[in-house]
Amino acid sequence: MQEAAFAALGLKAFYLVLELDRPHFHKVFGNIERLRLGGFNVTVPYKEEVIPYLDRLTPRARGIGAVNTVLYQGRKWIGTNTDVDGFLLSLERDGKFRPRGKKTLIFGAGGGARAVAYGLADEGARSIAITDIYPEKVGKLFKDLKPLFPKTEWITVAQNEEELKTVLRDVDLVVNATAMGLKPDDPVIIRASWIPQGSAKRRMLFYDLIYRPSVTPFLKVARRRGHRAVNGLGMLLYQGAKAFEFWTQKKAPVPVMRRVLENALKSNP
């Protein structure tokens, strides 16, 4: 996707995959001054761990507490977060959903969830409920974001059937920001019996940040109950386009990027 965008604009640049386990990640980034890169992306699980190695964060990345895109500029490593842009653009264009005044539920409290929560609050969401198997992560997220968005109601939800069923009766948007669903044997994070039946008058939007497989168990359950479902392909595309623009200061060729991305996923589902 990125190399197709570079080629479309005649830029001599290459996008490489550097896959590191945790010990090697910290070894490499402990010597970040030796990296000969113009910039890079960071993905799970390093969106928060990369921050101490950077020289500066954009205000958005600082507020979110997670970085997914880094630029080397003026001998400084600058971190930003384009996941917010990607999620909000996909939510609007693919999901036909605007967060202002809406009630939302997020599964997960990691780096992806932080970007989602920040974006929803920044767009005026009425309430944001978050559930995670590690309650301390939810507490840290709230501690960081609540002061930035005092008009949004922040709600902690325990991971039990009773609380989740109560919240699901009243929300407009449900987001899976966990990695559950990436693997075929992953447990289902939400059961059909917890979700109210959708109707012409009330249909929730279920959004899964995962894009491969294209229909996760989370989305299958939502559709079975009569609700709308969108995967994370659009978020991947739009965050990548914003990253491209951050690195190059040029407008991203989004149609080119979309075509290459979709073809790549078709050939490697």
In angstroms, the CA 100 to CA 118 distance is 13
Q: Which of 47, 102, 103, 242 is catalytic?
A: 47
The residues pairing with 208 across neighbouring beta strands, listed in sequence order, are: 176
What is the identity of the amino acid at 92?
E
Residues 169 and 154: their CA atoms lie apart, in Å, by 17
Q: How far apart are CA 105 and CA 165, in angstroms?
A: 11
CA atoms of 235 and 94, how far apart (whole Å): 9
Token readout for 159 is 């991971």
Query: In terms of C-beta distances under 8 Å and separation of at least 24 residues, what long-range contacts does 130-136 make, across chains too?
Result: 130/105, 130/106, 130/154, 130/155, 130/156, 130/157, 131/105, 131/106, 131/107, 131/156, 131/157, 131/158, 131/159, 131/163, 131/164, 132/107, 132/108, 132/159, 132/178, 133/159, 134/109
Write the CA distances from 93 to 96, 100, 131, 235, 261, integer angstroms: 6, 15, 26, 10, 17
In which residue are the tokens 């990695």 written?
179
The answer to whether 146 is a known catalytic residue is no
Positions marked catalytic? 47
